[in-house]
Structure formats: C-alpha cells, structure tokens
C-alpha cells in the first residue's frame, strides 16, 4: 500500500511541481539524436561481477551489425600490444527507439582478468572498430583509491551538464568508478536526451566504470503503472545480486577493495527491500559502507519522500554502522549527520553522513534550511571520495573547481566513524540571494 501511495503522489507532484526552474529551455534537448551506424557509439563501462577479475562493456550500433565482438589485452606502452588481444563475442539485442528506428545494443563481460592490472580494449564487428580504451581492475588488497559521485544530471545535458562530468574527470582522472544518483535524463523515452547524456561524458564512460540508481525520471509515466524506461537495460548492466527471483539490477551491491557499495530503489516501497538490505549489511566484511539511492531520506527542498525511508532503512543504517549515504532528486546540496527524524537533530557525531547533491543545471530552493551542516542552492557540484585504509575523505567541488565542502571520516575499532571537518575554499554558503540571479528580459 505504501508503494502505491508513493506512486500516486509522484504522478500528482509531476503535474503540480513546487520547484524553482530558472529557464524553461532546461527541460528540452538542444541537439538531435545521432542515428546509429555500423560504427560503435554510446560505449559504457561497468562490471557485473568481481571488479578485480571482470569488466563489462556495452555499446550501440545500427541493425546491420549482426555479430559484434570486443578485443582486450594487457596495456603496454608499445603499440604492438594489440597483437596479443583476445576476442570475446558479444550478446546483442534489438531496441526500437522513440523515432521508430531499430538499433542494436551489444555487451561483453571480460572474465579471468588479473587484479590491479591496466587493460586496453576495443569494440566493433571486425570491420568497424572503436578506438582502444584503457581501464584498471581492482586490487585484491585495500590499496588507496578514489571514486566520483554525481547528483542528478537530467536537463541540458550536452550544453551544461557536460562541464560537470568533465570537471570531475579533470579533478580525479584516476577515479576507479562513478556513482550516479538517478535522473540521468528528463524524458526517459527520448533517444535525443540519451544521446546528449552519452555525448556529455564521451570517452569518460568508456574508461571509468559507472554505476546507477534509478530515479523517477528513469520511469516512463503513463496512465498505466509507471515502468522502467526501455533504454535502461540495453544500455546499462549492473550486478544482478539483488532480491527476488529476477535478481533485480536496480537493487544490488558490489565490493571494491575495502568498500561495500549498496544501491537501493527508493522509487518503489522501501519496506520490500528491508530483508535483503539487512542480510547484505549484516554479512559485510568490508571496512567502509556506502549506500546510494535517489529520493533523499533527509532534505529541506522536497522532503516528502523521506518518512518511509527513515522508518524502514535508517534503523539498519544505524545498527550496521553505514558510513555514507549518497542521494539525489532535490537539486540542491546538503550534508547532515545526527538526525533521528526529518529535521530533528540529535548528535552530530553519530550515524551515517547523509548527502544530497546536484550536478545538472536544474535548481530547486530550500525551505528553512537551518538544520543542515553544509548546504548550497543554485550550484552545480561534483564529489570526489577517497579511501585509504582507516580514512575516507569527501570533497564536494563546484563545477568551477573550488572546494565547497569537505570532511574526513576516521574509522574506529568499534566500526563507527569520527568526522573531522575540512575548511572549504568557499566560506559563505551559496543561496539564490547571493549567487547569479536569473536574467529577466
């Protein structure tokens, strides 16, 4: 019942949406979709199994490519490494776009790779090939590493969101993976918008693995029950270790060295994921735990979705000492620790750190906003998170490069984490009244 009430509220709120939108053009694509050809495009790196020994790649071609493949070899400074490449046949499926065109999506899972090793790969059909891309497998020991976290992209993907993902890459080119907090596009059934999303990230997607949680804009809203966009699974391969007989790939987890990352689906009822979530948290051998989902548990911009998450998930986060909760949806930046309920402070030094962030250009505004430890409106940001043994360092940077928020978590023997604030380069909190105002013609 709780899930159905949430769906009804989402449909109503999509019509009467109390958000601040500074530019009506933000909701429309600004470039046409590129038609598929035999040449591979929309190349996306992920993994479905052990990141130390496997890697998965997906890509798109037109419908003339019947037998796609990928080649992989250990990377070497000599260009002759290509003669040692092994070939993998691809799995393929046909998708009919919103323009009525049939295209093919292909995927390959590279297996039996060596941990901590740099590989080069390319995809194609034997005649038409992509360039060679490089990636590094995870180490089997907990070596230091970083990853990127991005809030909603959603609108003006090619024009304005592109600068954010590219700034993130420039700041952390050796990042081992990226976490996307949902709402990748505005209209999930629009091939033109997906084209913008892929064009914005370009080669970055082919070299740094991406992982996603589904937002409400990944669901097509019709008079019938909302359904996950037809573009999701052909383009995106996630670990299939979630609950249920179908191993739903919107709810999953993966372990990267000494970090466990858990993706939850906050679009549907939270209660149905509790049993699986507790099992994954209880049987967690990793030192650090990061949870990713779309609707925020704590937010001051549109906090109407938080109560079920506080009821069903927060007790498990507290019990099993989750360190960091990464969220999206509200198109603001906020960080808080020590809440017992929505807007109710208890102890700043206990529980997970909850972060909401926004990477795209569509902006909302806060209500009272007095309970947050750090907040921002009208600001595009990206986050770089670094892990080194007993220390996790979080940096939120504006798309222009300045450090806006930062802290360290220090793991204690009992599994809890002590938080140490790091002074930001931007001291004053950014709000609509002290940032660039909309230009009224």
Domains of the chain, start order:
9-30+142-434 (3.60.21.10), 41-136 (2.60.40.380)
User: What's the mean per-residue pLDDT of the chain?
Assistant: 90
Q: Write down the pTM of the prediction.
A: 0.93
pLDDT at position 342: 60
321-362 pLDDT per residue, tens:
999 999 999 999 999 998 776 656 555 668 999 999 999 999
pLDDT of residue 13: 43
Positive or negative, the Cα torsion across 198, 201, 206, 210?
Answer: negative
Which residue's entry shows tokens 């806060």? 366
pLDDT of residue 166: 98
SS3 7: helix
Q: pLDDT per residue over 206-241, tens digit each?
A: 999 999 999 999 998 776 778 899 999 999 999 999
Task: Give the list of residues 6+ apart from residue 68 with CB closer than 8 angstroms, or none.
Answer: 40, 59, 61, 89, 90, 92, 104, 106, 123, 124, 125
The pLDDT assigned to 126 comes to: 95
């Amino acid at each position: 019942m709780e899930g159905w009430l949430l769906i009804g509220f989402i449909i109503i709120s999509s019509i009467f949406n109390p958000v601040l939108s500074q530019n009506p053009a933000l909701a429309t694509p600004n470039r046409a979709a590129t038609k598929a050809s035999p040449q591979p495009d929309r190349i996306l790196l992920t993994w479905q199994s052990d990141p130390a020994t496997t890697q998965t790649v997906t890509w798109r071609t037109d419908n003339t490519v019947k037998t796609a493949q990928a080649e992989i070899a250990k990377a070497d400074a000599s260009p002759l490494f290509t003669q040692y490449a092994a070939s993998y046949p691809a799995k393929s499926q046909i998708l009919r776009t919103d323009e009525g065109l049939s295209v093919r999506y292909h995927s390959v899972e590279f297996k039996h790779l060596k941990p901590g090793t740099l590989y080069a790969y390319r995809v194609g059909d034997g005649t038409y090939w992509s360039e060679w891309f490089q990636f590094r497998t995870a180490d089997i020991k907990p070596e230091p590493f970083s990853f990127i976290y991005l809030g909603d992209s959603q609108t003006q993907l090619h024009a304005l969101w592109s600068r954010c993902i590219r700034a993130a890459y420039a700041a952390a080119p050796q990042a081992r993976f990226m976490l996307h907090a949902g709402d990748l596009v505005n209209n999930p059934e629009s091939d033109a918008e997906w084209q913008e999303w892929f064009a914005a990230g370009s080669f970055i997607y082919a070299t740094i693995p991406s992982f996603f949680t589904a937002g409400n804009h990944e669901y097509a809203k019709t008079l019938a029950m909302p359904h996950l966009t037809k573009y999701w699974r052909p383009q995106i391969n996630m670990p299939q270790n979630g609950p249920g007989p179908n191993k739903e790939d919107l709810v999953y987890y993966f372990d990267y060295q000494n970090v466990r990352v858990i993706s939850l689906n906050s679009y549907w009822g939270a209660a149905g994921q509790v049993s699986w979530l507790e099992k994954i948290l209880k049987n967690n051998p990793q030192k650090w735990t990061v949870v990713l989902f779309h609707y925020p548990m704590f937010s001051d911009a549109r906090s109407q979705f938080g109560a079920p998450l506080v009821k069903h998930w927060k007790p498990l986060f507290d019990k099993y000492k989750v360190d960091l909760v990464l969220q999206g949806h509200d198109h603001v930046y906020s960080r808080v620790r020590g809440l017992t309920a929505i807007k109710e402070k208890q102890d700043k030094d206990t529980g997970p750190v909850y972060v909401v962030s926004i990477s795209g250009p569509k902006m909302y505004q806060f209500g009272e906003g007095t309970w947050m430890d750090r907040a921002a409106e009208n600001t595009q940001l990206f986050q770089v998170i670094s892990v080194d043994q007993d220390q996790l360092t979080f940096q939120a940077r504006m798309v222009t490069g300045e450090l806006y928020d930062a802290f360290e978590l220090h793991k204690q023997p009992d599994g809890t984490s002590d938080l140490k604030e790091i002074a930001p380069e931007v001291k004053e909190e950014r709000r609509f009244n002290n940032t660039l105002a909309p230009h009224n013609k």
